[in-house]
Amino acid sequence: MTFVVISIAIGRFDSVPDPMPIHFGANGQPDGFQPKTWGGYLAAYLILGAIFLGIQWGMWAFQRYGEGQTLRDRSSREATLPWVQIFLLIVFAAVFFALLASMSFQYYAAWPFIFVMAVTVVGSIAIIVVLSRKQRDIDKKLPPTTYQLDKMKYGFYFDADDQRILIPTNDDHSHFTFNLSKPMSWCVMAALFPQASLLYFWCG
């Protein structure tokens, strides 16, 4: 779909008006981050397509990494994937709202952004739900000794032999903590921190 939209936009590029109509915000001032031309919208969409392909490559690289030395067990990969999807969902949601904030009232020009981002967000939520259920099934099959209180420190879990990056801390699997002995846990935390910080300062 991305390539179809880009092909149509390039093919009809000479027939679109230039510059873009000015969009005035709620304060009566022109939006500072609005693309000034239709070419600017096309460039933004090309960048979005590159981001999408880059994340797809990142998921493929993660799968390959999971087949290596660190995550040999298939159940470990299945337990990790939901949290990778949560990170991707946050990234796509952030990009979506950033683009939506800079769009003009000419929504027929904005539909590629809205369509791609809506499908991505809904798809990511569906994947998170499915894989999270798989993770619960995996955790229930593991022996109860996999979670040991003496391996908890400062609210985090440290066990290099446990292949999971998130460890349930209660019987109903409603609370989790990171297994900081695994490099992937640090990667997920590093990926979530900027988004959480941005949301905090934005709401504050």
Helix (H), strand (E) counts: the chain: 5, 4
Q: How far is CA 59 from CA 14, 26, 65, 145, in A?
A: 37, 39, 10, 31
Going by pLDDT thresholds of 50, 70 and 90, the confidence category of residue 183 is: confident
More confident residue, 169 or 34: 169
- pLDDT score recorded for residue 1: 46
Q: Find where tokens 């510059």 sit.
A: 19
High-pLDDT (> 70) share of the chain, %: 9
- What number of other Cβ atoms are within 10 A of residue 194's Cβ? 12
pLDDT tens, residue by residue, 34-64: 555 666 666 666 666 666 666 666 666 655 5
- pLDDT score recorded for residue 69: 45
